[in-house]
A and B are shown apart, each in its own frame.
Chain A
Amino acid sequence: MSEQDTLPADVHPEAALLPWFANGTLPVGEREQIMRHLERCGDCRRELDELSQMKQALTEAYRTEPIPSPRLSRSVLAKVAEESATKRPVSTVADGWMDELDQWFRSLFLPRWVPTLAAMLLAVQFGLLFWLTNTPPPSEPVTTRAVAGPTLRVRVTFQEQATVGQIRAVLESVRAQILEGPDGSGSYLLRIPGTPDMTARALQLLKSRSDVVSNAEPTAP
């Protein structure tokens, strides 16, 4: 094919973009550039008119081209239905191990008693936490009494699999006091006494215990 890679010298560079101005896919910057150019260029306005008419004629011509036989869709859709019934499509090679992990994880929930057991464990966890907050042991650093001096309030959610002992240990390590909770989403409001530096470190520590704490964010007093 003998095609020039440049436009004729008497053609404005903007003319090369007019087909995409006509099909509405020019980026905003180029579109504005073309609009400014069209305001002062009669040649390009005529070129755009021709392109618009040509687009319409081509669209009509393409629209009436032959269509595939119904046999094609029947064959493809039947094949997909067959594959869909046997397995999910494999998206990528890299996804293979993810799919296997996903299948294994889902299989854990196949026995009917698993969700019930999970709900019971959750209820027991909340019960223990409730007991913990209402019966402080002697010389308990985690206390519901008010603490004088500067404090930080933190909204905390614990991991579902965390035990009472683990939660208690974490709270003790930062000298936290449970003010309220759990709320509807299972989170607790803590108060951590200390200077700003100390409370910042405490918050950092809470966040670092991701095996026990799923989320810890400071809240306004």
Chain B
Amino acid sequence: MDTTHERDETASTILAAVAMGDSSAFEQLYHLYEKRLYQYVFSLVHDQTVAEDIVGETMLAIWRGAGTFTGGSRVSTWIFGIARHKSLDAMRRCARRRREVELDGAAEMPTQSDSPLDDMERKQVETLTKRALAALSPEHQEVLRLVFYEELPYDEIAALLAIPANTVKTRVFYAKQHLKKHLERLGQKEPTR
């Protein structure tokens, strides 16, 4: 699997072609980001249909506005910024419904079960991690994803979340502390599961 940094360099080149109206370049860009963008949006809105709508809208916004990308940030930051903005809009619109969603809903999400059956230990760690993540606040979940999965620099996360860089650093520090505590607690509670 390529790294986020390599993917971003590729994305810059592809985005330039998209800005020129190249629909096949857009298709490439789409496949490069669809899954991660969907997972990020889902982690914010906790609704599959809403997440798909937002990803669709985001992708069309990228197609129509690729020329507005100034290169002042990574392509990932720009794309995730659009998706985040749309997610927050959708969350505001669906505030009432969202309140009904349980905080730990993510732990019960159906997962793609394509791992080998003999890899029980990895599966166990994965399950524990997901449950520990689900117990974190949405803000902590979000920064951990942006640092460790999207591999964004702290200044770009600050820009994306519209918070000071120092807040990003401390938020990640405490998110990691909380996740560690939850992992330890879950590990002690269900060591063999």
Interface residues of A (CB under 8 A from B): 1, 3-7, 11, 15-17, 19-20, 22-26, 50-51, 54-55, 57-62, 64-69, 71-73, 75-77, 79-81, 83-84, 88-92, 95
Contacts and interface: CB of A to CB of B under 8 A. Distances in A.
Given A54-B180, A66-B39, 15 more contacts: A3-B139, A3-B174, A16-B172, A17-B154, A19-B176, A23-B152, A25-B152, A58-B129, A64-B115, A68-B38, A76-B60, A84-B21, A89-B21, A92-B65, A95-B67
A66 B111 contact: yes
A91 B67 contact: yes
Contacts of A5: 166-167, 170
A95 B55 CA distance: 26
28 contacts: A3-B171, A11-B173, A16-B170, A19-B148, A19-B176, A20-B154, A24-B3, A25-B151, A50-B180, A54-B180, A57-B125, A57-B126, A58-B149, A60-B129, A64-B114, A65-B42, A65-B111, A66-B109, A67-B35, A72-B38, A72-B52, A72-B55, A80-B27, A84-B23, A88-B20, A89-B18, A91-B19, A91-B66
Given A6-B170, A20-B153, A60-B125, A67 B38 contact: yes
Given A68-B52, A73-B34, A24 B5 contact: yes
Interface of B: 3, 5, 18-21, 23, 26-27, 30-31, 34-35, 38-39, 42-43, 48, 51-52, 55-56, 59-60, 63-68, 109-112, 114-115, 122, 125-126, 129-130, 133, 137, 139, 144-145, 147-149, 151-154, 166-167, 169-174, 176, 179-180
B106 to A, nearest CB: 9
Given A1-B139, A11-B173, A66 B42 contact: yes
B144 A58 contact: yes
A66 B51 CA distance: 11
Given A15-B173, A76-B56, A65 B64 contact: no
Contacts of B174: 3-4
B42 to A, nearest CB: 7
Given A20-B154, A60-B122, A81 B23 contact: yes
A77 B30 contact: yes
Contact of B176 (A51, A65, A79): A51
